[in-house]
Chains A and B, each alone.
Chain A
């Protein structure tokens, strides 16, 4: 009976047309998760910077866009050099950087332990997740007027905006990372004699560290954005303040110069954090 069945199946299959052939596409630049040749990588990397820059040069040099709107790279460079020489730029850059260090630093100091707590203990999650989940949807910039009423126009309100803008996200992201510590790793640690605090210190924290640094990297970028916004409102120094001043006098070249500086410092922070991440997370690679 089995044989008869097989025979019938074979008969049916004989009548089927052959399956269409799919040609395997050649290896392309867009093959999923396939490493590129060094040359292609270089071309793409250089291009992604060079093309926009070339557009800038062409647009400003041909006068297609008036210089008041789009200053030439040369003009930006010379005004930047001037600002640097007068010492004004260093003061602004340091003022802004210090605000980030203070505001975001405070946020990290609060959010990392809080996130670890939330990711480790259900009680921590139950107590904090709802309120933080809500608070993070309130835009930090909307707090600026309130904070000025509460804290005045000085430094504290700016630090507070940075803090509010980053602390909730960093907490939730840290908690997520900590929740990713495999159950088996925690269980096995207990069977090796670890107490709760030791599991936290010797297992949960080291396992989460690379992920926590990743979260900090993402939120450092956000902090860097918030500080400029905060400085737009009321300041006497800082890169954001410099932009507002320049706008009043229609100094587009100065705005551009400050933007370049903001970008450079931001990238420097990111690269530094990435180096730390690579060092700490070598085991995960």
Chain B
């Protein structure tokens, strides 16, 4: 077990769009330590999804290197579990069979599978709906399935791309508390992308602000809030101040991008 879970060194990413190169990420350097909860915020188009897709190994950077626990990334794998905003469950599989997917691939026998699946279903509050199909679930429940499905493979880092972006406010807060609890219970490392600064400050042990056009690391801040956070934390002066200053940063970076 290395000291560093995830490391990005001078990572740049260009997309080709109608023959023209478009730089989505420019020389990003980032280190994520074990058990960190790192939230990346940035305006739309700042390259947040691109960053996650690079770490997931779904796309390859134009230049630079990404390593996971010291090994260079050559493609996607279960050591980097990915959760999208919505719509990535297998619609023909029940909740428990969705969660079991990665374990089936590993060739675990049924007893071993269900032992592990059961634990994550309980942890995410899905035990009641284990035999339901995804379309029979609420949006929040669907995201919990996606999270459980990624976590059951025990990834070195859990990658979340605006996982609560499509949820209503109450469900979103429930999910925030849940992901905090999961993070503390499982000791997993989390890299989460969001454009919701409040969410980032509430969840993260660290927040990185991305600037737009091209995406660069504009700020990298430790969140000095107590480990034990509740919804009341969101009303504390320390929280509000942090939130306001990061929101200003995001806005400044965005405007900088537009006028540049």
Residues of A within 8 A of B (CB): 182, 184-185, 187-194, 198, 202-203, 206-207, 283-284
Considering the chains assembled together, what is the distance between the CA atoms of A190 and B105 in angstroms?
Answer: 11
Q: Is the CB of B76 within 8 A of A191?
A: yes
Q: Is the CB of B58 within 8 A of A187?
A: yes
Q: Is the CB of A192 within 8 A of B149?
A: yes
- B133-174 Cβ-contact flags toward A at 8 Å (1 or 0): 101000000000010011001000001000000000000000
| A184-B87, A185-B90 known; A192 vs B101 contact (CB < 8 Å) | yes
Considering the chains assembled together, what is the distance between the CA atoms of A105 and B4 in angstroms?
Answer: 57
Q: B residues within 8 A CB of A206?
A: 90, 92
Interface: B239 (CB within 8 A): no
Which of A184, A185, A194 contacts B105 (CB under 8 A)?
A194
Q: B residues within 8 A CB of A194?
A: 105
- The 6 residue pairs across chains A and B that have the minimum distance between CB atoms: A193-B78, A190-B76, A192-B102, A283-B92, A191-B82, A184-B88
Considering the chains assembled together, what is the distance between the CA atoms of A187 and B56 in angstroms?
Answer: 9
Residues of B within 8 A of A (CB): 53, 56-58, 75-78, 80-82, 84, 87-88, 90-93, 101-102, 104-106, 133, 135, 146, 149-150, 153, 159
Q: Is the CB of A187 within 8 A of B76?
A: yes
Which of B80, B93, B104, B133 contacts A191 (CB under 8 A)?
B80
Considering the chains assembled together, what is the distance between the CA atoms of A185 and B76 in angstroms?
Answer: 13
Interchain Cβ contacts under 8 Å between A and B, 14 examples: A182-B88, A184-B84, A184-B87, A185-B88, A187-B82, A187-B88, A188-B84, A190-B57, A191-B56, A192-B105, A202-B104, A206-B92, A283-B91, A283-B133
Q: B residues within 8 A CB of A191?
A: 56-58, 76-78, 80-82, 150, 159
Considering the chains assembled together, what is the distance between the CA atoms of A228 and B44 in angstroms?
Answer: 59
CB distance from A212 to the nearest CB of B (A): 13
Q: Is the CB of B88 within 8 A of A193?
A: no
Q: Is the CB of A182 within 8 A of B105?
A: no
CB-CB nearest in chain A for B102 = A192
Considering the chains assembled together, what is the distance between the CA atoms of A190 and B91 in angstroms?
Answer: 17
CB distance from B80 to the nearest CB of A (A): 6
Q: Is the CB of A192 within 8 A of B92?
A: no
A-B contact count (CB 8 A): 65
Considering the chains assembled together, what is the distance between the CA atoms of A185 and B105 in angstroms?
Answer: 16
Considering the chains assembled together, what is the distance between the CA atoms of A191 and B79 in angstroms?
Answer: 8
| A193-B105, A198-B105, A283-B135 known; A188 vs B78 contact (CB < 8 Å) | no
Q: B residues within 8 A CB of A192?
A: 78, 81, 101-102, 105, 149-150, 153
Q: Is the CB of A190 within 8 A of B92?
A: no
> Can you add 13 more A-B contacts, CB < 8 Å, to A182-B88, A192-B149, A192-B150?
A187-B53, A187-B56, A190-B57, A190-B77, A191-B159, A192-B81, A192-B105, A193-B102, A193-B105, A193-B106, A206-B92, A283-B133, A283-B135
Q: A residues within 8 A CB of B150?
A: 191-192
Q: Is the CB of B90 within 8 A of A203?
A: yes
CB distance from B16 to the nearest CB of A (A): 16
Considering the chains assembled together, what is the distance between the CA atoms of A206 and B92 in angstroms?
Answer: 8
Q: Is the CB of B77 within 8 A of A193?
A: yes
Q: A residues within 8 A CB of B53?
A: 187
CB-CB nearest in chain A for B75 = A190
Considering the chains assembled together, what is the distance between the CA atoms of A150 and B93 in angstroms?
Answer: 49
Q: A residues within 8 A CB of B81?
A: 191-192
Q: Is the CB of B82 within 8 A of A188?
A: yes
Q: B residues within 8 A CB of A207?
A: 90-92
| A193-B78, A283-B133 known; A188 vs B88 contact (CB < 8 Å) | yes
Considering the chains assembled together, what is the distance between the CA atoms of A135 and B90 in angstroms?
Answer: 35
Considering the chains assembled together, what is the distance between the CA atoms of A198 and B107 in angstroms?
Answer: 12
Q: Is the CB of A284 within 8 A of B78?
A: no
Q: A residues within 8 A CB of B57?
A: 190-191
CB-CB nearest in chain A for B106 = A193
Q: A residues within 8 A CB of B84?
A: 184, 188
CB distance from B21 to the nearest CB of A (A): 22
CB distance from B259 to the nearest CB of A (A): 26
Considering the chains assembled together, what is the distance between the CA atoms of A223 and B149 in angstroms?
Answer: 43
Considering the chains assembled together, what is the distance between the CA atoms of A3 and B55 in angstroms?
Answer: 52
Q: Is the CB of A190 within 8 A of B58?
A: yes
Considering the chains assembled together, what is the distance between the CA atoms of A113 and B88 in angstroms?
Answer: 25
CB-CB nearest in chain B for A185 = B88
